[in-house]
Structure 1
Amino acid sequence: MKILPLARVQFGAMVVLALLTLSACALLAGLPRLVQGSFDANLHQSLRAAMASQVDLAVRVESRSRQEDLREPSQFAARDQRFRSILPAALRPVVGPVGTGTGHMSAKTWGTPVQGSGGMTFVNLGWLSDAERRVRWSEGRAPGAPGTMTYQGATITVFEAAVVEEARDKMGLRVGDVRVLGESDHVAVRIVGLFAPKDPADRYWSHHPDVLRVTEVQPPGKLDLERHTTALLSDGGLTALSGEGRNLVYSWVLPVDPAAPTSLGVPDVTRAITAYGRVVGLQPGGGSQYRLETGLPQLLNGYLAALSTARTVMFLVLGGLLAVAVGVIVLAVHLLADRADEALALARARGGSLRQVAGAGTALVALAVVPATLAGYALSWLVPGPVLPLVHAGPALVCGAAVGFAAVRMALAHRAPLRERRDDVAASRPSARRVTLEVLVVGLALGGAYLLRTRGLAAGTAGDDPFLLLVPIALTVAAALITIRCYPYPLRLFVRLAARGPRAVPFLGLTRAARARSGSVLPVLILLPALAVSVFASVIAGGIAETQRLASWQDVGASLRVSSPIELPADAVARVRAVPGVELVVPAQTASVQLGFGGERADVIAVDLGQWRRVLDGAPISVPAMPAAGAGVPALVSPELRGRGTMDVGWQTRVKVAERGVVPSVPGFFARGKFLVVPYEINERPTANTLLIKGDADAEAVARAVGRPRAQVSSQAESLAAIESAPLTGTVRVVLLVTTVALAAYALVAVVVTLVIGAADRARALAFLRPLGLTERQAQGLTVLEILPMILVTALVGLALGLGLPAALGPGVDLSAYAGGVAVAGYSPGLATPALLAAGLAVVAVLGAYAHTAISRRRAPGAALRAGELA
């Protein structure tokens, strides 16, 4: 049987099928790549934001004797090469080459006290393999080879070293000073230079915060602070640095490229790190054992845990798109098969075998579907992102479903030549087995939703809990079954009411709608998942947008916030108040204070909470009012400090504060840990180092008004823009928008195709009624009343299901990864999108009804009726 002549006759239906297939394949193959690409980009961004000391792989070993000492840089380089040679295959693409990124080698002492300081001053000695290209000498010169001196009758080594500029200011270490180190095994250090980092923001320095700044620690039971710094040695100094008599650690840092790991490869990388740690521990190292130190597995696993539910919800939306797209394409195949049935039946009656006839019909569908599938698959490669199995499986499933449905339908429709089919025979009642199965599906769906809400996610499964995948599907199927079974009953009530009226059109239209068999309404039920998923996507998008705004306010704590490590003078505060757009400025003071007389410390903010509440007027966050004062200074404390009553706080002076309430967090300042909120006047001389600003002033103008280079200005608008511009956040908005639009379009196409599929039967009914006096207006009303109830019922059920899915999924929907780390706690769905979707469906149904009656009006009754049916 020739296919091309049949394809020319059915060209319009084939074009519709091809366009639907093309769009579905492009979306189903492109969107997963876009989503997975955003997952990878967000992973890379989180690794770049983390400290290099957490991300990189650091191999360390202690030297405890001269036999274990490394005296030459070449010895470090040889072991670095050994550590790289034993890297597992999964880690080799992740670790950068030698000399790149943050990779380096080092040797540092720790706990090295300055003689005569009473154990309150420590100067450690350190060698960095790449110090020359990391620091600049601001005073003095670079260190040279060590020398010797006599101390307490013994000859000791004198190391030439350089210290950071801050050590000069806080520890009094100046160029030319000589300090003796150690309590028993003495050495001396001569300060020959001061240095500053060439790039203080370089991630490299997170490996050596002790080199870059002075560390201050308050020992328990003491009011004075211990001060620690690490002085840099030259390669010559390394030759005299020994672990005998002091604490000495060698380190080899293998740099991890933050852009190398992928979210799909995280499990392999974490397993490889564990295996690498075991292998490193087996390397020969004298009397000490090598150990691997890295926070990368915790970072990767924490990222996946935060992303798992959000990933599942995204692919749940894409799964709904797949189901709806396949359903609409099957409808289009149904339309093409109906139009080609007459020609195929004639070929079958003329002696064509079932294989020939069914094969011809299947080939006709394949002629439209296969090229469109390949074209859509090819278009998806224009979307950047990794290739997932779903990229290949989606188009293949669409093509297979279309061709497979065509083959089965053709084989069943043409089992026998000229097989007579009667559409006016009453449908059989559903069997008890079928009813039992449907009741079981509904019960399981409701039970699954209840369990998901009450028990939450299964422990250790996060977003991979099967309940989170199966419950939405089960709820959609249950809603579809209930709609199929229940929608005729309210219609029959309206039929009874219409039967009492004087007009026949409402009675006839509603009667035809109520008597529609289950099989005839199945195509329309494609609207249910389409509407449910599209409304669900719009509700999720709205919830994410609201939470992003909330997260930005929680991050800053005001419209603008000025933070300074030193006191802000009164004239700077006055200049800020004069900046255009500034409505209100509330000064505050933050500090780390001593609790009691031991080493326990807590963060504190002194602020007028009443004024701060005015700053937050109209914002989605607020702060509590300060309770009335009683004995002592009133304070709001964190949950960690709950129940302590009155506390002695060491700040500018010793102050007794009394607990007056508990706050879980302070917007813009504290989210966890030990902290207090006290009145601004707690100190004798209130000094502001923080300003909380209300208004829409420009952040740069505020920074210029402050006039302090170390002061930082944070803006709620900029924080919101940063959250919205994150790769993951931007992608989820695009995916949800595209999915909503695509599902709405598929729903409208389903309505049109359904109208066209039922056109022949509808034309036949109108052909019977027109000779009895049915007018054109009545024909249009009859058609609308026949198709509109099912569409409206399905639309309402789909809208209700979409609005209820977030609440039904309950704790399974955790979208904090898309909202700046803040949990999307509430969904307040707007009615704009649901109303537009329902109105669009109704308008398309009405327009289709009018178009159908206009077309059928031009057809003669003999075109729709068979011989003898008018007799």
Structure 2
Amino acid sequence: MRILLLARVHLGTVAALSVLTISACLLIAGLPRGMQASFDQALRRSLSTAAAQQADLTVAVAPDSRGEDLHERDQFAARDREWRDLLPPGLRPLITPAGTGSSHTSAKTTVTPITGTSGTQFFNLGWLSDADRRVTWVQGRPPGKPGTTRYDGETIPVFEVGVVAEALREMDLRVGDTKTLGENDYIAVKIVGAFEAKDPGDRYWDHNLDILRVTKIQPPGSLDFEKHITSLMSDDGLSVLSGEGRHLAYHWVLPVDATTANALDVPRLTAAIADFDRLIGIQSTGTASPYRLVTGLPKLLGDFRAALATAETVMYLVLGGLLAVALGVLVLGVQLLADRMEHTLTLARARGGSLRQVAGTGAALTGLAEAPAALAGYALSYLVPGPVLPIVHAGPVLVIVVTVGYAATRLAVTYRTPLHERRDDVATARPSAKRITLEALVIVLALAGAYLLRARGLTDSAGQDPFLLLVPIALTLAAALITLRCYPFPLRLLVRLTARGRAAVPFLGLTRAARARSASVLPVLILLPALGVSVFAAVISDGIAGTQTRASWQQVGAPIKMTSNIEIPAEAIERVRGAAGVEQVVPAQTARVQVGYGAERAEAIAVDVAQWRRLMGEAPFGLPDLPSGALVSPELQGRGTFEIGWQSRLKLPTRGVIASVPGFFTKGKFLVVPIDVLTRPAVNTLLIKGDASVDALKRLVPSATVVSQHGTLRAIQDDPLTSAVRWTMLVVTVALAAYALVAVVLALVVGAADRARAVSFLRTLGLSERQAQRLTVLEILPVILVTTLVGLGLGLGLPAALGPGVDLSSYAGDLPVGDYSLDLFLPSALAAGLAAAAVLGAYTHTAVSRRRRLGTVLRVGDLT
């Protein structure tokens, strides 16, 4: 047969099939690329925002003898090259080259007390390989060569050092001071200069905060703080510095380049880090001081994999549903094309055409419509940024194979015998016992799978659980089988009721709907997975959005929260009250208090709870009223009246138990007390209502940290992984809704010929045009409405059916997502849209059929 001629004759159907193929291939190949690009962006953000000492690889050793000391810069450089040579191939692209970024080496002592301070001040020695590029000397001069001095009858080394300018104030030091360090093995340091960091915000200083800041530590049971600072010395100081007699550690920092990371390499990176750690350990063989790898990168990657596994599971669910629906719609298009060629192929078969020729003709025409369109959709998918995954290549090929294979198989079955007459419109075929048993088995397995999934949860939170992917598919298939088998029964009941009436149209329309063949109903059942998956995606997206809002309130505890490590002065509080946009200010004090007279401690907040509740307004959580006494955590309940030490001894009766205090405490031992129980509240927290600028409030109280609920919510929503999940769900929801409408239209068109024939018969018996329209609507609408309701129910029930199998807390501020409230707007909109499409299609069909003459539809002998 002439394929091009057939394509020209059926140009409209071929064009429609091509458009559907382009859209399907674009979605199937483009969405995974966009998803993977978002996953890569999420991993890079996770690595770049984590503390450098957690994300970077650091090789450390603590020499405790002179034989293991390193005294020259070249020795450090040689070890750095050695560590880089040991990097596994899979890890090397992730590590920045030597001398770039924050790559550096260091030597530092720890816990080196200043002699005579009784262990309250510690002055450590430090050396950085690139200190000259990192600091600016603001007082004195850079350190030089070390010297010697006499102390306690011995000659001890004197190191020239510099300290950060902040340490001069915090530790009462001056340039030119000489301090003796140690309690037995003494050394001395001479402060010759003070410096400031050129870029204090550089990730480089995450590894060296002990140099840039004075560290304050409060020992247990003490009211005083220990102060620690690490100074900087020159290269010449290395020749004298030794690990013998003091705590000395060498570090080689191998920074991670977050821009080169991609989510697909996460499992390989985790294995490579473990391999690198093993190789470093081998280098320590035979040495008294072993080298070790210090990094939090495996934990970062593990946490990311856990969040990614959930994202991938949800994505696979919705994309799998999208693929199934897209293929179903394409199959409907192929069926429409086959129906349009029925006359041609029947004639060819009657004139001696072989079954291979007939089936090959249909397959060739389908391939002609599909192949260029699939190639175009595949090419358009490259406009979506992201890595090329196997599904990008396999998706369009799968579309072509399924559609062409379906065309060939359907035509081979239909025309296996020439001019085989079929009369399936009179009575429906009774399914075999084997088929009923198989369908019942599928339903039972789907229900059992849903129960087991809820009972056992996931097998591996860091990987894909096939059970989680199979259960939704089984539930969808079970719902489709139940709908296919059960929908005729209520229709037959309606047929009996309408048979008692005098009007013929309701009886005829519902009878045709109840007697519809399975083959004619199956195209409409594409609506079920389309609606089920789209509603599931919408419900999950809404659940995430609502939980994100609750999480932002839970993290902040007020529209705006200002906290400080020191007391906020009264005049500063008044400035905040008078700031633009501030409506209400509630002062509070937080502290760690003593419970009883022992060593037990608890976190506490003193606040006017009534004012706090008014300030919160319509926040998604509440606090119990507290006129007196204390609200305690579950760990402190059951104690009745207890005593705490906070400014003075306070006896407080328990007035209630609270699981968490939004913005402050979520676990452990904590309590909430009225602020007026304190003798003189030292306010260090302000809870603010209004739309004031966070930056403006920071300028009013420079020592405070200011966060807002809106800013926290934006940070949660802007996470790349979270954005990828919600963006993909939105696209899939819109695409599936469009496919559902297309399925309705195709279902109308596929049965148009038989429907027009039946209406023409009835018109010869006096059926009016208005009655023909009503008849068509009654024939089509019941099946669509039943399928729509089942699909909506499936989509609304899937989140509850999956239960703990889908943990979405990673995308909602670490708050569990479980409140899938029933929002009837989307279901109602989808149901109304599909019903409207069906009714509009019915009226359009009758309007088109009205222009046909009965002679073009009925042949001689049809009325006999």
Shorter-chain TM range is over 0.9
Counterpart code for 1:109 = T
Matches within 5 A, 1:236-315: 236-284=236-284, 286-315=287-316
Match of 2:338 in 1: 337
Partner of 1:671: 666
Greater CA deviation, 785-794 or 848-857?
848-857
Q: 2:484–2:521: 8 Å Cα contact kept in structure 1?
A: yes
Q: Distance in 1 between matches of 2:662 and 2:202?
A: 29
> Matched residue of 2:94: which SS?
coil
Structure 1 letter corresponding to 2:355: L
Q: Please show how residues 592-611 of structure 1 align to structure 2 within 5 Å.
A: 592-593=592-593, 602-611=602-611
**Letter matched to residue 256 of structure 2:** V
- Measured at CA, do residues 143 and 698 of structure 1 come closer, stay the same or move farther in structure 2, by a change above 3 Å? same
Find the counterpart in structure 1 of residue 732 from structure 2. Answer: 739
Determine if the alignment matches structure 1 residue 686 to structure 2 residue 681: yes
Task: Give RMSD over aligned pairs.
Answer: 2.1
Aligned to 2:125: 125
How far apart in 2 are the matches of 1:621 and 1:366? 59
Q: Please give the secondary structure, in 1, of the residue aligned with 2:585.
A: strand
Alpha-carbon distance in structure 2 between the residues aligned to 1:401 and 1:595: 71
2:848 aligned partner: 855
Question: Residue 508 of structure 1 aligns with which residue?
Answer: 508
Contact 1:509 1:783 in 2 (8 A): yes
State how far apart, in whole Å, the 2-side matches of 1:281 and 1:199 are. 35
C-alpha distance after superposition, 1:368-404 (max 9, x if no partner): 1011111111111111112222222222221211111
Is residue 386 of structure 2 the alignment partner of residue 393 of structure 1?
no
Q: CA deviation at 1:793?
A: 0.5
Q: Deviations over 1:142-164 (max 9, x none)?
A: 21111100011111000111222
**Structure 2 residue identity aligned to 1:670:** F
Change (3 A) 1:384 1:219: same
Inter-partner Cα distance in structure 1 for 2:362 and 2:53: 65
Match of 1:814 among 804, 807, 819: 807
The residue number in structure 1 matching 2:347 is 346
Is 1:136 aligned to 2:128, yes or no? no
Percent identity between the two aligned chains: 65
For residues 244-269 of structure 1, give each alpha carbon's deviation from its aligned partner in whole angstroms, at most 9, with x where no partner exists.
11121111010011222222111100
Query: CA-to-partner distance for each residue in 1:275-315, whole Å, 9 max, x for gaps?
Result: 11010011157432111111100111012113322320122
Q: Residue deviations 1:552-598, cap 9 Å, x none?
A: 21222111122233332223222322234322110112344566778
Secondary structure in 1 matching 2:157: strand
Query: How far is the alpha carbon of 1:355 from its aligned partner?
Result: 2.2
Asked whether the 8 Å contact 1:310–1:814 carries over to 2, the reply is no
Secondary structure of the residue that 1:133 maps to in structure 2?
A: helix
CA 1:207–1:827: 2 relative to 1, 3 Å: same
Q: 1:37 maps to which residue?
A: 37
Partner of 2:857: 864
Equivalent-residue separation in structure 2 for 1:593 and 1:233 (angstroms): 41
Residue 188 of structure 1: SS of its match in structure 2? Answer: strand
Deviation at 1:644, TM superposition (A): 6.9
Contact 2:442 2:474 in 1 (8 A): yes
Query: Which stretch shifts more, 17-26 or 99-108?
Result: 99-108
- Tell me the SS of whatever aligns to 2:562: strand
The Cα shift of 1:32 comes to 1.2
**Tell me, what secondary structure is at the counterpart of 2:259?**
coil
1:567 — aligned with what? 567
How far has the Cα of 1:617 moved from its partner? 1.7
The one-letter code of the counterpart of 1:665 is: S
Aligned to 2:785: 792
Q: Does the 8 A contact of 1:26 with 1:379 survive in 2?
A: yes
- 1:674 positional shift: 4.6
2:93 aligned counterpart, secondary structure: coil
C-alpha displacement at 1:191, in angstroms?
1.5
Q: Say which of 713, 716, 725 aligns to 2:718.
A: 725
State the TM-score, normalizing by the size of structure 2. 0.96
Partner of 1:326: 327
Amino acid corresponding to residue 431 of structure 1 in structure 2: S
Out of 771, 780, 805, the position equivalent to 2:798 is 805
Partner of 1:162 in structure 2?
162
Question: Cα distance, 1:550 vs. partner?
Answer: 1.2
What is residue 411 of structure 1 aligned with on the other side?
412
1:827 alignment counterpart: 820
1:92-114 alpha-carbon deviations (Å, 9 max, x no partner): 01111112222210111122222
- Counterpart of 1:106 in 2: which secondary structure? strand
- Contact 1:220 / 1:598 at 8 angstroms: preserved in 2? no
CA 134–654 in structure 1, closer or farther in 2 if over 3 Å, else same: farther
The alignment status of 1:422 with 2:423, answered yes or no, reads: yes
Match for 1:537: what amino acid? A
For 2:404, the aligned partner's letter is: V
**What is the deviation of 1:199?**
2.4
| Residue 433, structure 1, aligned to residue 448, structure 2 | no
Asked if structure 2 preserves the Cα contact closer than 8 Å seen for 1:463 and 1:812, the reply is no
Could you tell me whether the CA contact under 8 Å between 1:167 and 1:173 is conserved in 2? Answer: yes
Tell me the alpha carbon deviations over residues 527-571 of structure 1, each in whole angstroms, 9 at most, x when there is no partner: 011111111111112111111211221222111122233332223
Q: 1:649–1:91: structure 2 CA closer, same or farther, 3 Å change rule? A: farther
Q: Secondary structure of the equivalent of 2:228?
A: strand
Q: Secondary structure at the match of 1:209?
A: helix
Letter of the aligned partner of 1:414 in structure 2?
Y
Deviation at 1:660, TM superposition (A): 5.0
1:698 partner letter: S
Letter in 2 for 1:536: F
**In 2, Cα distance between equivalents of 1:594 and 1:172:** 31
State whether residues 311 and 463 of structure 1, in contact with CA within 8 Å, keep that contact through their aligned partners in structure 2: no
Match of 2:625 in 1: 625
How much does 1:700 deviate?
3.7
Which whole-Å CA distance do the structure 1 matches of 2:588 and 2:137 have between them? 38
Cα displacement string for residues 16-39 of structure 1 (whole angstroms, at most 9, x for unaligned residues): 100111001101111111112111
**One-letter code aligned to 1:272:** A
**Who is 2:365 aligned against?**
364
CA contact (8 A) 1:542 1:829 kept: no
Aligned with 1:553: secondary structure?
helix
Counterpart of 1:709 in structure 2 is 702
Quick check: 1:222–1:598 contact (8 Å CA) kept in 2? no
**2:754 counterpart of 1:761:** yes
Distance 1:198 1:597, change over 3 A: farther
Contact 2:491–2:514 at 8 Å: present in 1 too? yes
Distance (whole Å) between structure 2 residues aligned to residue 440 and residue 366 of structure 1: 36
The CA distance in 1 between the partners of 2:55 and 2:639, in whole Å, is 39
Residue identity opposite 1:743 in structure 2:
L
1:641 Cα offset (Å): 5.3
SS in 1 for 2:423: coil
Q: Distance in 1 between matches of 2:657 and 2:697?
A: 33
1:726 and 1:655 map into 2 onto residues whose CA distance is 44
C-alpha displacement of 1:638: 4.2
Instruction: Verify: 1:178 aligned to 2:178, yes or no.
Output: yes
3-state SS of 1:610 partner: helix
1:445 is displaced (CA, Å) by 1.2
Residues 365/499 of structure 1: CA separation in 2 closer, same or farther (3 Å cut): same
Query: What is the CA distance between 1:708 and its match in structure 2?
Result: 2.7
Is residue 2:530 matched to residue 1:535?
no
Question: 1: CA distance between counterparts of 2:142 and 2:636?
Answer: 49
- Rounded to whole Å, the distance in 2 between the matches of 1:104 and 1:242 is 20
Confirm whether residue 316 of structure 1 aligns to residue 309 of structure 2: no
Q: Which amino acid aligns with 1:746?
A: Y
Deviates most, 545-554 or 400-409: 545-554
- In structure 2, the residue corresponding to 1:381 is in which secondary structure? helix
- Give the aligned partner of residue 547 of structure 1: 547
Tell me the equivalent position of 1:150: 150
Residue 211 (structure 1) aligns with: 211
State the alpha-carbon separation in 2 of the partners of residues 355 and 520 from structure 1: 26
Paired letter, 2:263: S
Instruction: Give the superposition deviation at 1:860.
Output: 2.4
Q: Which residue is 1:28 aligned to?
A: 28
Unaligned runs of 5+ in 1: none
Cα offset, 1:727, TM superposition? 1.8
Q: What is the aligned partner in structure 1 of residue 14 from structure 2? A: 14
Q: Which moved further from structure 2: 528-537 or 299-308?
A: 299-308
| 5+ long unaligned stretches in structure 2 | none
Contact 1:218 1:599 in 2 (8 A): no
